Amino acid sequence: MKQQLESIRSQAMAALEEASTPAALEELRVKLLGKKGELTAVLKQMGKLTAEERPVMGQLANSVRAAIEEKLEERKAEIHASVLEAKLASEAVDVTIPGTAVAVGHQHPMNQVLQQIKDVFVGLGYQVVEGPEVELADYNFTRLNIEEGHPSRDRSDTFYFTDDDSVLLRTQTSPMQIRYMETHKPPLCMLAPGRVFRKDEADATHSPMFHQIEGLVVDEHITMGDLKGALITMMRKLYGEDAQMRFRPHHFPFTEPSCEMDMQCHKCHGTGEVNGQVCSTCHGEGWIELLGAGMVHPKVLECCGIDPNKYTGFAFGMGLERMAMGRLKINDLRLIFDNDIRFLNQF
Ligand code: PHE
């Protein structure tokens, strides 16, 4: 029996030393000390011993049990420590590694240019307002002296919402002239930027959605000279003192007289050619149309309850994309709407 106990002890010690997981330890504990374990099996034979042998063997059995229990605890602690160590090593955080920088965006180039334009006109005393993109045909056309049957009212040019063509996506920011004069009386100075929509095919200088900035000034003694002064001031602030622009006579139903203002093409500097080829940005014109403008038509003033015999005014509507193209030297308008981060990050 003594031999049995000694061999249990030595085998147990070796096995416990080998065990490397909590599960393996538990398995050994059951095998060695459990009710059906090896030690219990030996103790069951105690009855066969003599009275003198019994306490000696009992003592030996107890010391074997104690040794196994002690070794179990020891291995348990060691395995626990090594498991913890492995876990810590695998989850280690190196606080000295430089962090991943968060990419901070910036204003879209269109907004940058819009902000610059707004700054100029706010400096001149204009109030900046916004209006609806879904507009009544009455404001977008009729009250701007654009009568039924005018080509710009055609279904092939304008996005309509209703069968009777009374509600539409505004084709220009000019309805803001009417809305503003309905609620404000002269002297007034207004700037109304916003999106407009036309059934245009997209190309280098056209898009079915683009932005306009409407301007309106009404007071006594306002002349075409005031209009030119305001626009030239803006151009010089944005493009520098030597900015090149020209005014051409034009026709708009809601201004009389009317004009358009062009800016010298930033790509070919007015020559219409680049390396012997027709300039693709201005199509060889040498000039890029920026805006329409004119003196507010007396009929328009009248329909807003403003006396055209006492007051005169000017209005302009400029294309923001065109302004941005010149300001930022962008050759194709479609790039502005692509939202390609490589393009946008250049500005
Ligand atoms: N609304 C006109 C257009 O879109 C531009 C314009 C605005 C002309 C104000 C005259 C006065 O073409």
Compute φ and ψ for 50, nearest 5 degrees.
Answer: -80, 165
CA separation for the pair 214, 319 (Å, rounded): 9
Task: Tell me what the mean pLDDT of segment 176-185 comes to.
Answer: 97
Atom of ligand 1 nearest to the CA of 173: 1
Q: How far apart are CA 48 and CA 44, in angstroms?
A: 9
pLDDT at 237 over 80: yes
* pLDDT computed for residue 41 by the predictor: 82
Is residue 205 scored above 80 in pLDDT? no
| Residue closest by Cα to atom 7 of ligand 1 | 317
pLDDT at 210: 95
Task: Please report the pLDDT score of residue 228 as a whole number.
Answer: 98
Query: Quick one: pLDDT band at residue 54, thresholds 50, 70, 90?
Result: confident
pLDDT tens for 117-163 read 999 999 999 999 999 999 999 999 999 999 999 999 999 999 999 99
Distance CA 2, CA 186 (A): 119
pTM equals: 0.72
Distance 316 CA to ligand 1 centre (A): 6
| More reliable by pLDDT, 97 or 308 | 308
Question: Is residue 321 pLDDT above 90, yes or no?
Answer: yes
Whether the pLDDT of residue 185 is over 90: the answer is: yes
> Residue of the nearest CA to atom 4 in ligand 1?
172
Q: What is the DSSP string of 133-187?
A: SEEEHHHHTGGGT--TT-GGGSTTTS-BSSTTS-EEE-SSSTHHHHHHHHH--SS
**44 pLDDT above the threshold of 90:** no
The overall average pLDDT reported for the chain is 92
Give the Å distance between the CA of 38 and the centre of ligand 1. Answer: 102
CA 252 to ligand 1 center in whole angstroms: 7
Tell whether the model's pLDDT for residue 218 goes beyond 90: yes
Residue written as tokens 């654009």?
Answer: 146
Residue-wise burial string across 222-239, b where 16 or more C-beta atoms lie within 10 A, e elsewhere: beeebbbebbeebbebbb
Query: What pLDDT does residue 256 have?
Result: 98
270 CA to centre of ligand 1 in angstroms: 24
- Mean pLDDT, rounded, for 272-295: 93
Looking at the predicted structure, is the pLDDT value of residue 202 above 90? no
Shortest-distance atom of ligand 1 to CA 258 = 10
- CA 24 – ligand 1 centroid, Å: 86
Is the CB of residue 326 less than 8 Å from the CB of residue 287?
Answer: no
pLDDT digits (tens, 9 = 90+) for 1-31: 888 888 888 888 888 888 888 888 888 888 8
pLDDT for res 189: 98
Lining residues, ligand 1, CB within 6 Å: 172, 174, 252, 255, 258, 292-294, 315-317
- In this prediction, residue 26 carries a pLDDT of 86
Q: In the structure, what pLDDT confidence band is assigned to residue 313 with cuts at 50, 70 and 90? A: very high
DSSP structural state of residue 347: -
